[in-house]
A and B are shown apart, each in its own frame.
Chain A
Amino acid sequence: MSTPPEQGEFYQRDRRWHPPALSQDYKTSVTRAPQYPLISLENTASEITGPAFGHNDIAATDNDLLTNFAQPGESPIGERIIVHGRVLDENARPVPNTLVEIWQANASGRYRHKKDTYLGALDANFGGCGRTLTDENGCYHFRTVKPGAYPWRNRVNDWRPAHIHVSVFGTGFAQRLITQLYFEGDPLVARCPIVNTIPDPEAVEMLIARLDMNATIPLDTIAYRFDIVLRGRRSTLFENRLEGN
């Protein structure tokens, strides 16, 4: 069955599925959350279009965090993992050729950032960022080390679960999304005030990457699967006067 191209508006974002702007237990949000309601806009070209990236923008090796900052012949310390998955929209259609960017701490939970002063040691062979384009089926993959948990000044004994930050574009600016990937079985996930900004446990489940033994490379690298869903678009069953005439 062939499906018509989707050119309509994006489905409305479900703001009760996403975290609210204000969540008391994530303290920084208290002074950075707007108090007035968002003004809802019907889509125009400003929201439906968005930047496109190509293979000239990035290097083919940018998705390999085991080598993209390491000295030749050396390797970062930590659990070698593959993170892979698909980028789909809410209609379960793949989102091809879209930019996926990640960043993370090293195996000690230390970030390569001049503002990070945690005692955990830096790794001379680990930068902690990567980027790639999805293929024609919406698939992406990275190779990296599993990040460590780290403490942060929220309550005095708060620790972030191991996580990788993920940024995705999609085809329209309205799909722009930044989120965090967590790891299956991590006992810190349920205790984290940032995770718990998300009200629905089913929504939290979407952020937990699953151990994927079938994608693991024996004697080499273990694998996690993380699919990402961006907003879907209406197929224009009836004229919706988007462009008008």
Chain B
Amino acid sequence: MRQRFDYLKETPSQTAGPYVHIGLAPGAAGFRIYDQELGWDIASPNAEGERIRVEGMVIDGTGLPVKDVLLEVWQANANGVYAHPEDGGAVEDGFRGWGRVISDFETGEWGFGTVKPGPVKGRGGQMMAPHINLWIVARGINVGLNTRVYFEDEAEANATDPVLNVIEWERRRATLIARRSERDGLAIYRFDIRLQGDDETVFFDI
């Protein structure tokens, strides 16, 4: 008798297409339907930690900005704890750690305000440098792309981060480091994502 497994196969992915905003950000598509849209409150005003803004563009293989992209954000709070029961600790009221942003239809610029995450415990108890997990969908992207935003001013932690160090091509690690500047007293981290070609951003199979 041949042994049989009863596992199911995962539902295959399809592109989110050009009109992803209708479902996930209807206000941007041009109409109001829900009492509240989801994803605009990654870290509410009472979340602890340094307020930051992360912004950038997604750039295609010809060097042009992708103007119909949607990104989702998943991050720990300033203490390195995820708002999820399996992560053990508690997070402050109003800290969700998840958000959703879209690029501007004219310029391709996107950005979100949040708090800077703390270091998170990785495998084997080793600490991971502060990072924000991103998931990117758009027309022409068949399976959502996963990447991570690390911070330029965390050079010491980045140097020992177990995920960055898994990238054998050391030069490519720099594609995951957001550049810090200040605007009106607010820390701005610039994170441009290159889908293809020179300086292509590192994407993960998580």
Contacts and interface: CB of A to CB of B under 8 A. Distances in A.
B17 to A, nearest CB: 6
A242 B82 CA distance: 16
Q: Tell me if A's interface is mostly helix, strand, loop or mixed.
A: loop
A215 interface: no
Interface residues of A, number: 91
Contacts, number: 272
B18 interface: yes
A18 B203 CA distance: 16
Interface string B11-37: 111111111111110100111011110
Contacts of B107: none
A228 B24 contact: no
Interface string A1-22: 0000001000011110111110
Contacts of B131: 46
Contacts of A51: 74, 83-84, 96-98
Contact of A49 (B9, B82, B105): B82
B43 to A, nearest CB: 13
A90 B205 contact: no
Interface string B129-140: 001010101111
Contact of A50 (B61, B84, B197): B84
B133 A90 contact: no
Given A20-B142, A173-B133, A13 B10 contact: yes
List the 4 closest pairs (A to B, CB-CB), nearest first. A103-B23, A28-B140, A51-B98, A49-B84
Given A41-B204, A45-B87, A165-B14, 9 more contacts: A18-B142, A19-B12, A21-B142, A31-B62, A44-B120, A92-B7, A111-B19, A111-B29, A229-B8
7 contacts: A29-B141, A31-B195, A43-B206, A45-B87, A167-B24, A198-B14, A243-B121
Interface of B: 6-24, 26, 29-31, 33-36, 38, 60-62, 66, 68, 72, 74, 76, 82-87, 96-98, 105, 120-126, 128, 131, 133, 135, 137-145, 148, 163, 166-167, 172, 195-197, 200-206
